[in-house]
Amino acid sequence: MSRLFGSVRARATLGATLVVAVALVAAGVAVLLSLRSNLTDQADTQAERTARNVAADLAAGTAYARLSLDDDEEPVQVVDGAGRLVAATEGLERIGGTGTGAVRPQPSATASTGEDADDDQSDDHGGDGRDDDSALEPGEIDDEVSYAAGSATIDGDSTDYRFAAVRVEVPGKGLLTVYAGAQLAAEQSAVSTALTALLIGFPLLLAVVAGVTWLVTRRALRPVEGIRREMAAITASADLARRVPVPGTHDEVARLARTTNETLAALETSVERQRRFVADASHELRSPIASLRTQLEVGAAHPELLDVTGAVEDTVRLQSLAADLLLLARLDAGERPGKGRFDLGALAGEEAARREGVSVEAESVEVGGSRGQLGRVLGNLLDNAQRHARSAVTVSVRRDGRWAVLSVADDGDGVPVGDRERVFERFVRLDDARGRDEGGAGLGLAIARDVALRHGGTLTVRDAPAGGALFELRLPLVD
């Protein structure tokens, strides 16, 4: 069960079915209540009409015995001011919900026949023919009607009714109340039929909704399952060159597939770059280590032949290479620059002062970031310029709008246009004819470009005005 509802398709189907079920139940209840209310209102209207017809006959002076109360489907009672039943439908056997449960009229001894009864009752109520407790004029029918639910049995048939009660002031008889009923059989039958239809239709409709939702969700999630299978295959085979299938739609699943392929491409590039990095690093480390080992072995066997200067140079080169590799590893791991602020012009002056043949023209500009890392960038640019310069290296720092611009120019041969991006790749050296000891490991410019990018800047190369190469570092100024 938990596995079943762990499926997105199952949860979507269940959720849609529950929502539709709640909506259907609410709509069904509203329909039943509305239907019942309308039919009840119709019964009330019918009962009121019957009660007012009887009240009109009474107001017109019709005697109790002459009232038309022989409708077997509509029970009628006439009750006087004392609560005594004075007229009722013939065949009435039981009644409930009206003012009295009596079913047989109980006229007074003086009201047993014709006009004498009316005259005697008129004398009983006074000379004006009015009940002292009545607010109605003689012959007036009350506008207010009260309703109640009840039941009655007529000639052995029992059913439910809606009763309407209407008061009427009858001259010579005082205040009378007429109770008339209208059957609720039609209302009950209609509500029962509607309820049966709902109980049968709702499950069928819910089954259709669940089935359609299941099929639609299955079709919608089919590409996701394809992506999952392909990702599982890529994980098992470790083949990052594979790509997940992209559906021919323009929905979220297609965008997910394209994003997944972009991620795989970036991962493949990163892994390939890492492999090249490890291979190149191993190759670069092999030379100074082998040279240092050879010198130490020779020195151990023949102390007088030990080249101390060469061993120190190899050690320094090895130390510098290890520092470059460590910095690149930190940059690849996402190390962020610090939040310090410093004067880039002052930094350029300090770096230039430690080298021979380097001139500097720097104005004071403040930038943010790691002073140590940006100092390393400037040092790498100066090392590169001094390796390729014929006689002079120039450093300048200036302000250009919202940017601080640091330029390092030499008077060497420059960088060919086709290689101006390639020089920033790791372990790339354009001076292959040089010895490895003179040309460096090819990491300086790569480190400089990475540090510049992480400081929100750029590092580019172009021709210097006086010939040679001009490397330009642009960094955002601090507000």
In this structure, is residue 244 part of a structural domain?
Answer: no
Nearest alpha carbon to residue 446 among 427, 471, 419? 427
Same domain for 351 and 459, yes or no, is yes
Residue 393 and residue 326 share a domain: no
> Residue 344: pLDDT above 80?
yes
Residue with token string 């909506």: 23
More confident residue, 329 or 268: 268
| Domain closes at, from 289, 307, 331 | 331
Q: At residue 302, what are phi and psi to the nearest 5 degrees?
A: -135, 85
**Cα 17 to Cα 19: distance, rounded to the nearest angstrom:** 5
At residue 430 the predicted structure's pLDDT band, cuts being 50, 70 and 90, is: low
Residue pair 97/76 in contact (Cβ under 8 Å)? The answer is no
296 and 157 in a common domain: no
Cα distance between residue 77 and residue 92, in whole Å: 10
Residue 226 lies in a domain: yes
**Is pLDDT at 475 greater than 50 in this prediction?**
yes
The Cα 350–Cα 342 span in angstroms is: 13
- 221/256 Cα distance (integer angstroms): 12
- Contact present, 349 and 322 (Cβ < 8 Å): no
Q: Is the dihedral of CA 139, 143, 148, 150 positive or negative?
A: positive
Residues 220 and 267 in one domain: no
Instruction: Give which of 283, 263, 285 is closest to 275, Cα–Cα.
Output: 283
Domain hosting residue 276, numbered range = 252-320+322-331
Q: Which residue has the tokens 């086709």?
A: 418
Q: Decide if 125 contacts 138 (C-beta within 8 A).
A: no
Mean pLDDT confidence for 19-25: 91
261 shares its domain with 216? no
Kindly report the CATH number assigned to the domain that includes residue 263: 1.10.287
Same domain, 385 and 265: no
| Residue 192 structure tokens | 């029962």
Q: Are residues 198 and 284 in the same domain?
A: no
Q: Distance between terminal CA atoms of the chain?
A: 61
List the alpha helices (DSSP H) in 238-343.
Answer: 252-301, 308-332
Least confident of 19-23, 324-328, 414-418: 324-328
Looking at residue 33, its amino acid is: L
Residues in Cβ contact with 115 at an 8 Å cutoff, skipping those fewer than 6 apart: none
How much is the pLDDT for 130?
41
Pick from 239, 266, 285: which residue ends a domain? 239
Q: Is the pTM of this model over 0.75?
A: no
Residues 312 and 362 in one domain: no
Whether residue 245 lies inside any domain: the answer is no
Residue 361, token pair as written in the block: 């023209």
CATH number for 421: 3.30.565.10
> Residue 350: inside a domain, yes or no?
yes
Return the residue matching tokens 């739609």: 249
The residue among 331, 358, 390 that closes a domain is 331
Range in 80-94, 276-290, 387-401, 459-473 with the lowest mean pLDDT: 276-290
Same domain, 268 and 397: no
Q: 8-59 and 185-237 are packed helices; what angle lies between their axes, rounded to 10 degrees?
A: 170
Helix (H, G, I), strand (E, B) or coil at 145: strand
Domain co-membership, 76 together with 218: yes
Is residue 235 assigned to a domain?
yes
Identify whether residues 188 and 326 lie together within a single domain.
Answer: no
Residue 30 · residue 22 · CB < 8 Å? no
pLDDT by residue (tens digit) across 174-192?
Answer: 899 999 999 888 888 888 8
246, part of any domain: no
Between CA 446 and CA 451 the distance in angstroms is: 9
346 and 448 share one domain: yes
Domain membership flag for residue 221: yes
How many whole angstroms separate alpha carbon 338 and alpha carbon 370? Answer: 5
**Residue carrying the six token digits 């009983």:** 124
**Residue 247 maps to a domain:** no
Domain count for the chain: 3
